[in-house]
């Protein structure tokens, strides 16, 4: 009875208002997504477009801009330091992320084994490095890999008969130390993603394979890996994009000399140095545009490669 009255009341109210329910909903829709798009326009879209325009100008941040065509790109592409920073970024990226994928899958596989106990303890400890900030990781590793001969890292390699390395000033020392901190911080993160992937694989697939006489290794290669493919593609994509944007780890690890040395200068550090240490906003923007192109291309190629790899595996699994 009461609800009928209410309903009548509501329909009367609706009749009075000029806006229909449908129009109101439309309006609400636009209104509710507006905050995001207003913010996006101001701090996302406008800076991105401005950056692309800036790449064709000469500008120090003060005074008028001067259109210079492609010459910023020419300056950057002719600068050996740009190429060195790209080389460093790719090498550190490969050394820091590729092993993660392999180790991550193995750890996730172990954590997913039904017979293993204390998995929650292992999961929490292996994930813990990810909680630490990049700056904290870089500082702790900076002391561990300090350039002094008595650095703990030098003590450890000394146990294996290796001579002390000058970790912060040698070509490979800096790259290896930075790759290791990237690896340490992210391997648990990838393990968690793979673990979620493994848990999504139906158990009866393995049971059926066991009945058909497939061994553990065969099952891993022909069931686990192909079904994990979407998760592998995802982590490869994220690792590729993340590795090409590396900044905090090398910049903090090397401390005050970070922008004066080239052993571990990454593309983003090169960009930062151009803009904020040398005041050349035009060439820095050209670098930003080049970096965008590199990231999109690398992400596309790597995603394509990993999906292709999975397809081949799957086809083989089906034909067997």
Partner 1 sequence: MNNMKRAAKGTLPVYIALGFASLVSIFPFYWMFVMATQPSAAYNSIPPTLLPGDQLVENFMKVLDTIPFFQAMWNTIVLCSTVTLAVLFISSLAGFAFAKFQFPGKNFFFILILLTMVIPPQLGLIPQFYLVSQLGWLDTLLGAGVLFLLNPLGIFLMRQYISESVPDELMEAAKLDGCSNFRIYRSIVLPIIKPAFATLGIIVFTLVWGEFLWQFTVLRDPASYTLQVALASLNNAFRVDFGMLLSGVFWATVPLILIFLIFNKWFISSITEGSIK
Site residues for partner 1, 114-173, by CB under 8 A, read 115-116, 121-137, 139-144, 146, 148, 150, 152, 155
Q: Could you give the CA distance from residue 206 to residue 192 in angstroms, rounded to a whole number?
A: 21
14-43 residues in contact with partner 1 (CB under 8 A) are 21-22, 24-26, 28-33, 35-37, 39-40, 42-43
> Hey, which residues does 66 pair with through a beta bridge?
58
Q: Could you give the CA distance from residue 34 to residue 201 in angstroms, rounded to a whole number?
A: 40
Spatial neighbors of 137 by CB under 8 A, at least 6 apart, are 129, 181, 184, 185, 249
Q: Could you give the CA distance from residue 176 to residue 253 in angstroms, rounded to a whole number?
A: 12
Q: Hey, CA dihedral for 74, 76, 81, 85, is it positive or negative?
A: negative
Q: Give kind and range of the element (H or E) at residue 97.
A: helix 80-111
- Residues 259, 273 contacting (CB under 8 angstroms): yes
What's the min distance (Å) between Cβ of 199 and partner 1?
9
Site string for partner 1, 38-77 (x = CB under 8 A): -xx-xxx-xxx-xx--x------x----------------
With respect to partner 1, which residue has the nearer C-beta, 183 or 309?
Answer: 183
What's the min distance (Å) between Cβ of 281 and partner 1?
5
Site string for partner 1, 166-205 (x = CB under 8 A): ------------------x---xx--xx--x---------
Q: Any contact of residue 301 with partner 1 (CB under 8 A)? A: no
With respect to partner 1, which residue has the nearer C-beta, 148 or 171?
Answer: 148
With respect to partner 1, which residue has the nearer C-beta, 59 or 175?
Answer: 59
207-266 residues in contact with partner 1 (CB under 8 A) are 231, 234, 238, 241, 244-245, 247-248, 251-252, 255-256
What's the min distance (Å) between Cβ of 306 and partner 1?
15
Q: Give kind and range of the element (H or E) at residue 162.
A: none
DSSP string, 47-70: HHHHHHHHTTEE--SSS--EE-TT
Compute how many residues bind partner 1; rule: CB under 8 A.
99
With respect to partner 1, which residue has the nearer C-beta, 31 or 318?
Answer: 31
What's the min distance (Å) between Cβ of 172 and partner 1?
21
Q: Could you give the CA distance from residue 31 to residue 46 in angstroms, rounded to a whole number?
A: 21
Q: How many CB atoms lie within 10 A of CB 18?
A: 5
What's the min distance (Å) between Cβ of 184 and partner 1?
7
Q: Could you give the CA distance from residue 312 to residue 320 in angstroms, rounded to a whole number?
A: 12
279-298 residues in contact with partner 1 (CB under 8 A) are 281, 284-285, 288-289, 291-292, 295-296
With respect to partner 1, which residue has the nearer C-beta, 146 or 166?
Answer: 146
What's the min distance (Å) between Cβ of 270 and partner 1?
11
Question: Which region, left, alpha or beta, applies to residue 33 given φ > 0 means left and ψ of -120 to 50 means alpha?
Answer: alpha
89-118 residues in contact with partner 1 (CB under 8 A) are 103, 106-107, 110-111, 113, 115-116
- Chain-centroid distance of CA 128 in Å reads 18
Of the candidates 81, 53, 47, 58, the one whose C-alpha atom is nearest the C-alpha of residue 271 is 81
With respect to partner 1, which residue has the nearer C-beta, 35 or 69?
Answer: 35
With respect to partner 1, which residue has the nearer C-beta, 210 or 316?
Answer: 210
Q: Could you give the CA distance from residue 65 to residue 106 in angstroms, rounded to a whole number?
A: 54
With respect to partner 1, which residue has the nearer C-beta, 21 or 204?
Answer: 21
Q: Give kind and range of the element (H or E) at residue 154.
A: helix 152-159
With respect to partner 1, which residue has the nearer C-beta, 36 or 67?
Answer: 36
């Amino acid at each position: 009875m009461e609800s009928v009255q209410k309903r009548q009341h509501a329909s009367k109210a609706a009749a009075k208002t000029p806006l229909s329910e449908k129009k109101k909903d439309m309006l609400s829709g636009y209104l509710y997504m507006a905050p995001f798009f207003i913010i996006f326009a101001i701090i996302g879209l406008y800076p991105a477009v401005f950056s692309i325009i800036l790449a064709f100008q000469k500008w120090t941040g003060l005074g008028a801009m001067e259109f210079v065509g492609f010459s910023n790109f020419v300056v950057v592409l002719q600068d050996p330091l740009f190429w060195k920073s790209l080389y460093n970024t790719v090498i550190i990226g490969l050394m820091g992320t590729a092993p993660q994928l392999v180790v991550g899958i193995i750890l996730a596989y172990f954590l997913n084994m039904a017979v293993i106990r204390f998995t929650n303890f292992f999961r929490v400890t292996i994930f813990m490095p990810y909680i630490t900030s990049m700056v904290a990781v870089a500082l702790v590793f900076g002391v561990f890999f300090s350039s002094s001969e008595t650095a703990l890292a030098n003590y450890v390699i000394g146990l294996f008969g290796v001579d002390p390395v000058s970790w912060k000033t040698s070509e490979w020392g800096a790259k290896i130390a930075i790759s290791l901190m990237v690896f340490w911080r992210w391997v648990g993160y990838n393990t968690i993603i793979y673990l979620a992937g493994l848990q999504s694989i139906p158990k009866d697939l393995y049971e059926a394979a066991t009945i058909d006489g497939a061994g553990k290794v065969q099952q891993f290669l022909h069931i686990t890996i192909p079904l994990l493919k979407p998760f592998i593609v995802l982590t490869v994509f994220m690792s590729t994009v993340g590795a090409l944007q590396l900044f905090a780890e090398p910049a903090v690890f090397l401390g005050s000399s970070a922008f004066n040395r080239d052993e571990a200068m990454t593309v983003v550090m090169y960009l930062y140095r151009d803009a904020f240490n040398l005041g050349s906003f035009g060439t820095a923007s050209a670098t930003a545009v080049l970096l965008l192109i590199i990231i999109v291309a690398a992400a596309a190629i790597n995603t394509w490669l990993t999906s292709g790899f999975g397809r081949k595996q799957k086809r083989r699994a089906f034909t067997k």
